[in-house]
Amino acid sequence: MALPPSGLSCAMCFGNGDTRNARYHRGMASNSSTSLPVVNRTSMSRVAKRRLWVLLTVQVLIIAHVLMWWLSTQYGWFGGYTLSPIEPSESIETVSDGIVNAGAIFFATALLSTALLGRWFCGWGCHVLLLQDGCTWLLKRAGIRPRAFRSRLLMLAPLALALYMFVWPLAYRFLVAPFTRPDLTWPGFSSHLLVRDFWATFPGVTVAVFFLGICGVLTVYMLGSKGFCTYGCPYGGFFAPLDRLAPVRIRVNDNCQGCAECTAVCTSNVRVHEEVATHGMVIDNGCMKTMDCIEACPNDALSMSAGPNAAGGPRPKRTWDLTWPQEFAAAALMLVLFLVWRGAWGVIPMLMAMGTAACGTWLLWRVYTMVRSDNAKWLKWQLKRAGKVQGKGWVVLAVATLFTIVTFQNAVVQASAFRSSLTMQPHTIRHTLATPIATGSQASEVHQALEHLAPTMDLRSGGWAIVESPAHRYARARLLAMQGKLHDAHTEMVVVMAHARPTEAAWRDGFALHTLLLPEDDTQAWAEVVLADHPDWGGLRTDVVAWLTSTGRASDALDMAAEAMSLEDARRLMLRAVDLLQAGRAVEALPLMQDYVNATPKDTLARAALARLLLSLGHTTQAGVQMQRAISEGPNLPPAQQQALAAEVAAFNAMAESKSAP
């Protein structure tokens, strides 16, 4: 590391025309005659390498978890179950319905440890941070140093989102529902550590790629190296205030010379040298305990140790990019953008909407500053000079215009859907079929609600949407059913079920329409496939059992009901059997496997596995009988399961051959 000769710009604003930092440095110079040193690292520090390995290990664990799920669905491993997602957002289920899952336990552990050790999880455990660090590194290699955008009000967005996600459901149930929905009592806690539909709450691959592009790459370029953490991450919204309670902090000793190398290496934009000089420790809750500053300090002046916390103390000294009126305008803009983009096209998840809203706010603010001043620059880009917009400036204007057009389009769609829902909340189709078609004033409300929904259709159908959201189609299907237009409603529902993420409510409505419009055999086959994929959907199962009974298929109805009753017990049997097999206790696992197969006779793969277990224990005849039955059921299986069965049969035959060999 080298201290710059007097007059060189500092590392944090090197070459970016950053007037805010220039102001800051003038202030620093007058206080302590210190400017930030330029840090010319050619290789990673030891602690940075260690952190990289930890973050890569997190990625490997995530991949292993996904692989476990894939094996469970494709080959029936682990009884078809896997650990529920270890993802903090899963805690929403806990605060909404008392369902305790792996994500909730993980998030609670992370929160408690943050109150003790500070905001370590962001720096050492978050996969989005790895992406942001990677982008920062790439940009630096391209000679671009991301510059932090600092807004007092926008920094509160993560906390606001965290309160909405994790506190509002509790507040609604305990404080609001007693007056508005007395039936909505607290269901008590239940455990949901194992799941079949692991991916149910995750987006598809395309959305994931765009998510990483916006929340990992764009936020770094526009908002700074920890842009998404600062303006988009709801978990950070809780970690940040808890950090101030933590007794374990970065602290300074008497060796400090005020050289500011610690501040120069901090990618969380913490004014380390200032804070330790004033408070003896880092108090900024943006500190992610990366420990880069400790390693960078040439005087061994920093360490991490326990002591007084920062609760109730002074706030870190910061400079801001926006005036107060601009702050309020930016906050209002970000809120509107979030509402417009959330759920857009039926695919944009909440966190991606936050990233889009934050980047969009920055983009429009940058256009505003460009329009107002004669000279404007961003990082290495000269956007405007002497009142003339430069080539790069036109690029920014073009991107901002495109973003505004698409946002406006989404705004029309979202506002139309909202207006429709205010006019009329469509009933479920099941309910509609059981009651007369809407008449009188309700009929005119249904008509109006459908008219309001018209702009939510895609452009080819005369609407405003680039891609029509399945949620809006579903609303239309329910309204059409209320008008008695069942064929139209069915057409919409078929599209919904082809494109939407499966939910039991929508699929029950789809089933209700199938029973009216499809041949009975097709409806039954459809229901069996859906329930095989979602065996926990008790409501749909009840509908199907009732329908089978009403159509004279009493035996099938009994089978389906029996499956439901035995499901939980059978699952436990299978899990225990798998445990025993993994522990090499095959003899003890055998009766459990037999009970499981008896309880779930349609689980062909389990039957094949039982055959192999029987063979391995020398019960050759029984093994042959079970395998023959599994093979005879093979043609009815979905293709992926047929492949798995073929693998089981091959393994069975190989074992049989080796046993019969002299």
Q: State the residues that interact with ligand SF4 by CB under 6 A.
A: 250, 252, 256-262, 265-266, 268, 270, 272-273, 276, 282, 287-293, 297, 299, 301-302
Left if phi > 0, otherwise alpha if psi is -120 to 50, otherwise beta: which for 449?
A: alpha
Residue 284 beta carbon to ligand SF4: minimum distance, rounded to whole angstroms: 7
Nearest to ligand SF4 of 122, 486 (CB atom): 122
522 CB burial (10 A radius; 0-12, 13-18, 19+):
exposed
Question: Within 13 Å of residue 332, how many CA atoms lie on the same side as its CB?
Answer: 6
DSSP state of 454: G
Phi, psi of 506 (to 5 degrees): -65, -40
Q: How far is CA 440 from CA 170, 425, 426, 444, 452, in A?
A: 38, 16, 16, 7, 19
For 318-377, give the DSSP string.
---SS-HHHHHHHHHHHHHHHHHHTTGGGT--HHHHHHHHHHHHHHHHHHHHHHH-S-EE
Cα atoms in the 13 Å half-sphere on the side-chain side of 428: 12
Q: Cα–Cα distance between 536 and 567 in angstroms, integer?
A: 8
Nearer to ligand SF4, 262 or 334 (CB): 262
Give the Cβ contact number of residue 193 at 10 Å.
13
Nearest CA among 93, 244, 241 for reference residue 166: 93
**Residues near 66 by beta carbon (within 8 Å), at least 6 away in sequence:** 198
Residue 118 Cβ vs ligand SF4, minimum distance, rounded to whole Å: 8
Three-class SS state of 252:
strand
CB nearer to ligand SF4: give 275 or 633. Answer: 275
Q: Which residues contact 61 (CB under 8 A, 6 or more apart)?
A: none
Q: Please state, in angstroms and rounded to a whole number, the distance separating the CA atoms of residues 547 and 520.
A: 10
Q: Distance between CA 596 and CA 556 in Å, rounded?
A: 20
Cβ proximity to ligand SF4, 269 vs 515, nearer residue: 269
Q: Which is nearer to ligand SF4, 51 or 473 (CB)?
A: 51
Amino acid at 592: L
Q: Tokens 């967005």 label which residue?
A: 157
Q: Which residue has the tokens 């926990």?
A: 536
Q: Helix, strand or coil for residue 244?
A: coil
Give the three-state DSSP class for 412: helix
β-sheet bridge partners, residue 190: 99
Closer Cβ to ligand SF4, 299 or 594, answer by number: 299
Nearer to ligand SF4, 90 or 261 (CB): 261
What is the C-alpha to C-alpha distance for residues 156 and 180, in angstroms, rounded to an integer?
A: 30
Q: How far is the CB of 630 from ligand SF4 (least distance, A)?
A: 57
Q: CB within 8 A of 360, min separation 6: which ones?
A: 333, 334, 337, 341, 403, 407
